[in-house]
Amino acid sequence: MDEQTFLKHITKTDDCWLWNRAKTAAGYGVFSRQSKTYYAHQYAWKLWNSPELPSVLRHKCRNRHCVNPDHMEGGTQAENIRDRERDGTDNKGERHGKHKLTEENVVEMRRLRREGASVEELQTKYGIGTHSAILYALTGETWSHIPNPLTEEEMKATRHHKKKLTAEQITEIRSRYADGVTKARLAEDFGVSSTAIANHL
């Protein structure tokens, strides 16, 4: 695309030059030529600044629709990540379009795991289809902005979550719970998770 054609797809304001054609889900302008897709801001950089792209091209104006070459600068991936975190555009946690959990869920599931809940129990409780999705949320590989992920040692320290409770034990658990004994104490006494206890109350 030549300069004149490119300019036809831009709306210039007093500050930013806004791309007025297709955009990605993340908000970057795009266009296609000969079955190839190009980012509009990268094309603008090459058109007016330099034929060589920096390893990371950053928007100083914080507007992803903008293709004003004066509003862009080279940077590092670490700076780019800080920009996204600062602007709330990092797609972390609940901002991610495909999230199934909430931040409250993640905090709760980490607590339940520390209390002895199994990964399988957490999958069922939160309706998550994959084992790895729970593991990643627990250990902070995802939802990393939430503090206090589980350590490797904590992940290994599980109770006997597959132990089956007898009818007599369930009756005793309900009686003791009614008397004020906590679920955590009952879980410890019966060698199961707090979630297992809660499921029988």
Are residues 36 and 80 both part of a single domain? yes
Q: Is residue 161 part of a domain?
A: no
Q: Is residue 33 part of a domain?
A: yes
Query: Where does the pLDDT of residue 127 fall: very low under 50, low under 70, confident under 90, or very high at 90 and above?
Result: confident
Q: 11 in the Ramachandran plot: left (φ > 0), alpha (ψ -120 to 50) or beta?
A: beta
Tens digits of residue pLDDT in 65-110:
899 999 998 877 676 666 655 554 444 544 444 456 787 888 888 8
Tens digits of residue pLDDT in 172-191:
888 888 888 888 878 766 77
Q: Is residue 21 part of a domain?
A: yes
Q: Would you state the pLDDT for residue 105? A: 85
Are residues 117 and 138 both part of a single domain? yes
Query: Where does the pLDDT of residue 140 fall: very low under 50, low under 70, confident under 90, or very high at 90 and above?
Result: confident
Domain with 17, as residue range(s), is: 3-90
Q: Which residues of 10-22 are buried (b: 16+ CB within 10 A; e: fewer)?
A: beeeeebbbbeee
Q: pTM here?
A: 0.43
Domain count for the chain: 3
